[in-house]
Amino acid sequence: MNHILTIGGRQFRSYFNGPVAYIVICIVMLTLGFFFWNTFFLYGRASSREMFRWLGLILVFALPALTMGLLAEEKRTGTIDLLITMPVTEAQVILGKFLGVLGLYAVLLVLTVAYPISVSTLGHLDWGPVWSGYLGLFLQGSAVLAIGLMASSWTDNQLIALFVALTLSVFFWVLDKFLALLPTNAASVLEWLSFDYHFQSMARGVVDLRDVLFFFSVTVFALALAFRALESRRWS
Amino acid sequence: MTDVMIEARDLTKHYGPITALKNATFQVNRGEVVGFLGPNGAGKTTTMKILTCFIAPSEGTARIGGADIFDDPIAVREAIGYLPESTPLYTDMLVLEYLEFVGKMRGLRGAGLQARLRKVAEETSVGDVIGRSIGELSKGYRQRVGLAQALIHEPPVLILDEPMSGLDPNQAAEIRELIREIGRERTIILSTHNLAEVRVTCGRVLIISQGQLVADDTPDELAARAGKPRFVATLRQNGHSASDIREAFSSIGDAQSVKEQTGAAAGEVIVELVPKGNQDLRADIFQAAVSANLVLLGLEQRGENLEDIFRQLTTGGGAPS
């Protein structure tokens, strides 16, 4: 556990040594502000629904930028050699890296709480759906970050990692957007696999164990594949 | 406690159709500094990566300080301080931050960590850059930080992959001195293709070529294996013919052969003498020159040096006789 925390802590701090964390935080806050306030007064409702609708989508695009370098950059520069040859297991490296980026994501989420707070000063805000929405964001974000870490474990090129992670996360987000074109059976499967379907239900204030388990499974699955990729290096 | 710190048995590594390492077997005892020598791509880095458990061998196994690389990779990693080729460090971190990180990963905490930090900073003289960002450091200092991170947990075994490549001669000399210092108490394997370096730092040399170990000996033994010393005299011609000059030296009893060498400047003759055994012919050569009234301009003793042996061993020439 100590090793996981040490790796995670180093990763978390290193985000602030470079520009990536600041850029991502700025872009997320600015685009959220633009989309949110653009329609807020139009609807004239003190609701968090709109915010979560946008934030869910923005993060699917923004989070792969945080994960692209996690392992790819270490492989490119060779620092992975030193990391792996310390007395740690591959699983500890993967979990540490994941924890580091999850920490940064948590900071980002905390910053966005400014929006519901400002909404609550303008009218009566129901905080229930806000908290369940944040839980949903956290879970969906974990899944996206795990997918990004997995993509980063497959290559030593950050841009390829970014592209793969973006493609996969957007794919899972967009799955329930074209259901009208499909036969009902296929539609319900796709809907169930969609990130947005599970997330929106939490943003409405419904915490269903199935939604939680869905994101949790995707996260664990992606981390397991990242572990496999990192470990396969030994036997290549 | 065993005195064999590194024991590699039949290490073989295939990368697809390529065999990077073939049946490498060797031992390194406690306190030895062993130079691992070979051309680029001979399998030095592959061997080191296997010993540090970064990659697994296709066949064979190795033990570090008694722990097997397959059965107990964590114990192996704990016993090793490793400096990979080209010293990969987190360039965005401060030297102190980085060494603290490595120390924590090595299980050091609190006062123990601080004490070790001070010790390695002193040993590797990184004290004056401790607050600087690694990315700003010169190659020489980066190498020191690399060594500092390898030393922080006082490992009994150090594996250094080309610790002196890319350094200017002064930096290389400093690092060499540092390695010699460290090597008094530890077992070290260092890879290099600089032969002068091996002669100065290593007590033993392993030469690897095309994935196979072709020599395992002390630098002096290797040089001795290569052949007898030769003595090369440069003389002023002064009207003497080259054959006269050769004649003058053929009276030296211990000389097995006397022959003229090409490449002399105008008006000079170069003669090479090979002794019968290991005799030193320099005094005889001087006497012979004086009695034949020849002017001796230069006299040197040449052994077949490590470079020659290295070239012979690694270009498929087999062991020199």
The CA distance from A29 to the nearest CA of chain B, in Å, is 26
Q: Which string of DSSP letters, residue by residue, matches A146-174? A: HHHHHHHHT-S-HHHHHHHHHHHHHHHHH
The predicted model gives B287-303 an average pLDDT of 83
Residue A137: φ, ψ to 5°: -60, -40
The pLDDT assigned to B303 comes to 66
| pLDDT at residue B98 greater than cutoff 60 | yes
> Least CB-CB distance to A87: which of B55, B77, B88?
B77
pLDDT (tens digit per residue) in B145-163: 999 999 999 999 999 999 8
With an 8 Å Cβ cutoff, are B106 and A10 in contact? no
pLDDT (tens digit per residue) in A105-160: 999 999 999 988 988 888 888 888 899 999 999 999 999 999 999 999 999 999 99
Q: Is B65 exposed, middle or buried (0-12, 13-18, 19+ CB in 10 A)?
A: buried
Q: Where is pLDDT greater, at B180 or B166?
A: B180
Among chain A residues, CA nearest to B152:
A86
- Put the strands of the sheet holding B67-68 in their side by side order: B18-29, B4-15, B59-64, B67-68
Please report residues of A whose CB lies closer than 8 A to that of B84.
78, 81-82, 85
| pLDDT at residue B294 greater than cutoff 80 | yes
The CA distance from B236 to the nearest CA of chain A, in Å, is 58
The pLDDT assigned to B272 comes to 82
For residues A14 and A20, what is the distance between their CA atoms, to the nearest angstrom? Answer: 10
pLDDT (tens digit per residue) in A36-95: 887 777 777 777 888 888 899 999 999 999 999 999 999 999 999 999 999 999 999 999
The predicted model gives A1-11 an average pLDDT of 93
With an 8 Å Cβ cutoff, are A79 and B80 in contact? no
The CA distance from B31 to the nearest CA of chain A, in Å, is 22
The pLDDT assigned to B2 comes to 54
B51, B99, B101: best mutation site toward chain A, by most A Cβ within 10 Å?
B101
Q: Is there a contact between A102 and A145 (Cβ–Cβ < 8 Å)?
A: yes
For residues B300 and B284, what is the distance between their CA atoms, to the nearest angstrom? Answer: 13
pLDDT (tens digit per residue) in A154-188: 999 999 999 999 999 999 998 888 777 888 888 88
| pLDDT at residue B319 greater than cutoff 70 | no
Tokens of A14: 């290193």
The pLDDT assigned to A41 comes to 76
Mean pLDDT of chain B: 86
Q: Is there a contact between A5 and A96 (Cβ–Cβ < 8 Å)?
A: yes
Q: Which string of DSSP letters, residue by residue, matches B59-111? A: EEEEEETTEETTT-HHHHHHHEEEE-TT----TTSBHHHHHHHHHHHTT--HH
B273 three-state secondary structure: strand
Q: Where is pLDDT greater, at B70 or A35?
A: B70
For residues B205 and B208, what is the distance between their CA atoms, to the nearest angstrom? Answer: 10
Sign (positive or negative) of CA dihedral B199, B205, B209, B214: positive
Q: ipTM of the assembly?
A: 0.90
> In sequence order, what are the residues at sequence separation of 6 or more whose Cβ sits closer than 8 angstroms to the Cβ of residue A81?
B49, B54, B82, B84, B88
Q: How many CB pairs under 8 A join A and B?
A: 72
The CA distance from A97 to the nearest CA of chain B, in Å, is 14
The pLDDT assigned to A91 comes to 95
B264 three-state secondary structure: coil
The CA distance from B302 to the nearest CA of chain A, in Å, is 42
The CA distance from B88 to the nearest CA of chain A, in Å, is 5
Q: What is the DSSP letter of B265?
A: P
For residues B70 and B64, what is the distance between their CA atoms, to the nearest angstrom? Answer: 11
A81, A92, A232, A236: best mutation site toward chain B, by most B Cβ within 10 Å?
A81
Please report residues of A whose CB lies closer than 8 A to that of B53.
84-85, 234
For residues A169 and B188, what is the distance between their CA atoms, to the nearest angstrom? Answer: 48
A22, A86, A230, A236: best mutation site toward chain B, by most B Cβ within 10 Å?
A86
> Least CB-CB distance to B105: which of A14, A17, A86?
A86
Note every long-range contact of A174-183, with CB atoms under 8 Å and residues 24 or more positions apart, other chains counting: none
Please report residues of A whose CB lies closer than 8 A to that of B104.
2, 6
Containing H/E element for B19? strand B18-29
Q: Which string of DSSP letters, residue by residue, matches B132-165? A: SBGGGS-HHHHHHHHHHHHHTT--SEEEEESTTT
Please report residues of B whose CB lies closer than 8 A to that of A84.
53-54
Tokens of A16: 């602030």
Please report residues of B whose CB lies closer than 8 A to that of A6.
101, 104-105
Tokens of A50: 């709109």
Q: What pTM, to 2 d.p., does this model score?
A: 0.84
Among chain A residues, CA nearest to B51:
A85
Of A208-217, B105-114, B297-306, which range is least confident?
B297-306
For residues B22 and B61, what is the distance between their CA atoms, to the nearest angstrom? Answer: 12
The CA distance from B208 to the nearest CA of chain A, in Å, is 22
Residue type, A139: L
With an 8 Å Cβ cutoff, are B54 and A6 in contact? no
Please report residues of B whose CB lies closer than 8 A to that of A78.
84-86, 88
Q: Is there a contact between B10 and B25 (Cβ–Cβ < 8 Å)?
A: yes
> Least CB-CB distance to A14: which of B75, B90, B105?
B90
Q: Where is pLDDT greater, at A8 or B42?
A: A8
For residues B186 and B5, what is the distance between their CA atoms, to the nearest angstrom? Answer: 10
> In sequence order, what are the residues at sequence separation of 6 or more whose Cβ sits closer than 8 angstroms to the Cβ of residue B132?
B94, B95
Among chain B residues, CA nearest to A15:
B92
Of A42-46, B191-195, B233-237, which range is least confident?
A42-46
Q: Which residue has the tokens 């040490």?
A: A6
Please report residues of B whose CB lies closer than 8 A to that of A18.
92
Please report residues of B whose CB lies closer than 8 A to that of A86.
77, 102, 105-106
* Helix runs in A63-157, H state only: 64-67, 72-77, 79-84, 90-112, 114-122, 127-153
Q: Is there a contact between A77 and B88 (Cβ–Cβ < 8 Å)?
A: yes
Q: Is there a contact between A188 and A90 (Cβ–Cβ < 8 Å)?
A: no
